[in-house]
Amino acid sequence: MKNIQTYTYYLFFALLFIGKVIYAQLGPVPILDDQCVDAQPGSQWYWYDNDRDGWGGPNGSCRTSPGTGYVLRGGDCNDNNPNIKGPSIWYYDDDNDGFGAATGPTIRSCSKPANYVDNNKDCNDNNPNIKDPSRWYADIDEDGAGNPSDWVLSCTQPAGRVANTSDCDDNDPDIQQITWYRDEDGDGFGENTYTLIRCTRPGDNFYPQNTDLCPGVNGPTNGCPASGSDTAEHWNTVKVTSYDITENEIA
């Protein structure tokens, strides 16, 4: 009876050893045993790391000391390339929108499985039109304008946050972005041909009003030339050509 127990004991650990070797050969070993139990107490599993990237290849062995080139984890996807390490986690993408679900199935693999992606950011994996989380910006002063430097990622709008970054001062609801009008002709009056919405003046040739009544002409009177000047006469003169009944031009 004692011999049978002894044989069973050794058979169990022999099969355990074989199983570990097969697993190391056929797939990654992300979780390592603290102790390798075999004929030598105190042994551990070690894998030879050919490219010295910290991940061992498929060749694992149970030993009392690691030896040169051995590490405590196997499963390197390419043990000849130090830039390629262990397997990645892939997330199932049910709606095929390029984003996986955080709560869906996962696979650890060196290569991308079909219908799996490398992220778990999908807000709704049953709807391809709903993808990854959006940025939401703090709106402390509750003016509907967000602070561009204070944001979080969320699938739904958090309380006290908005989707825009238009706030100039999130502690003062009265300070808002305004429209600035560029002065194209350099007379100090903004024109409606080019505008920018900013918190501060974009440049010296921008003004907060589009009061230029004569765009393209430099003038001191709302952008128009002063009355009586040569420019004013030229600007306000309209040439009219008249014809008589015989269609001859009348001088």
Residue 43: pLDDT band with limits 50, 70, 90: confident
Region 54-69: mean pLDDT is 88
Give a yes or no: residue 220 inside a domain: no
Residue 18: pLDDT band with limits 50, 70, 90: low
The DSSP annotation for 194-236 comes to SEEEESS---TTEES----SSTTS--TBTTBPPTTSHHHHHHH
Give yes or no: residues 67 and 7 share one domain. Answer: yes
Say if residue 5's pLDDT is above 80: no
Segments forming the whole domain that contains residue 126: 87-132
Specify whether the CB–CB gap between 59 and 82 falls below 8 A.
Answer: no
Say if residue 248's pLDDT is above 80: no
Give yes or no: residues 111 and 122 share one domain. Answer: yes
Give yes or no: residues 60 and 14 share one domain. Answer: yes
Give yes or no: residues 45 and 92 share one domain. Answer: no
Region 234-250: mean pLDDT is 50
Give yes or no: residues 147 and 123 share one domain. Answer: no
**Tokens of residue 50, six digits:** 């050919």
Residue 28: pLDDT band with limits 50, 70, 90: very low
Percent of the chain with pLDDT over 90: 57
Say if residue 238's pLDDT is above 50: no
Give a yes or no: residue 203 inside a domain: no
Say if residue 232's pLDDT is above 80: no
Rounded to whole angstroms, the Cα distance separating 13 from 186 reads 91
Give a yes or no: residue 81 inside a domain: no
Q: How many domains does the chain have?
A: 3
Q: What is the mean pLDDT of the chain?
A: 82
- Cα angle vertex 157, ends 135, 120, to 5°? 60
Give a yes or no: residue 212 inside a domain: no
Q: Give the Å distances, CA to CA, from 38 to 6, 13, 28, 203.
A: 14, 6, 21, 78
Give yes or no: residues 152 and 114 share one domain. Answer: no
**What pLDDT does residue 212 have?**
86
- State whether the Cα torsion 173-171-154-134 is positive or negative: positive
pTM of the model: 0.54
Give yes or no: residues 106 and 145 share one domain. Answer: no
Say if residue 233's pLDDT is above 50: no
pLDDT (tens digit per residue) in 159-194: 999 999 999 999 999 999 999 999 988 888 989 889
What string of H, E and C letters represents the secondary structure of 87-111?
Answer: CEEEEECCCCCCCCCCCCCEEEECC
Give a yes or no: residue 232 inside a domain: no
Give yes or no: residues 98 and 147 share one domain. Answer: no
**What pLDDT does residue 250 have?**
52
Question: Which residues, 6 or more positions from 22, have their beta carbon under 8 angstroms from its beta carbon?
Answer: none
pLDDT (tens digit per residue) in 92-128: 999 999 999 999 999 999 999 999 999 999 999 999 9
Rounded to whole angstroms, the Cα distance separating 65 from 42 reads 9
Give yes or no: residues 143 and 108 share one domain. Answer: no
Give a yes or no: residue 223 inside a domain: no
Helical segments of 27-104, H only: none
Give yes or no: residues 102 and 156 share one domain. Answer: no
Give yes or no: residues 18 and 63 share one domain. Answer: yes
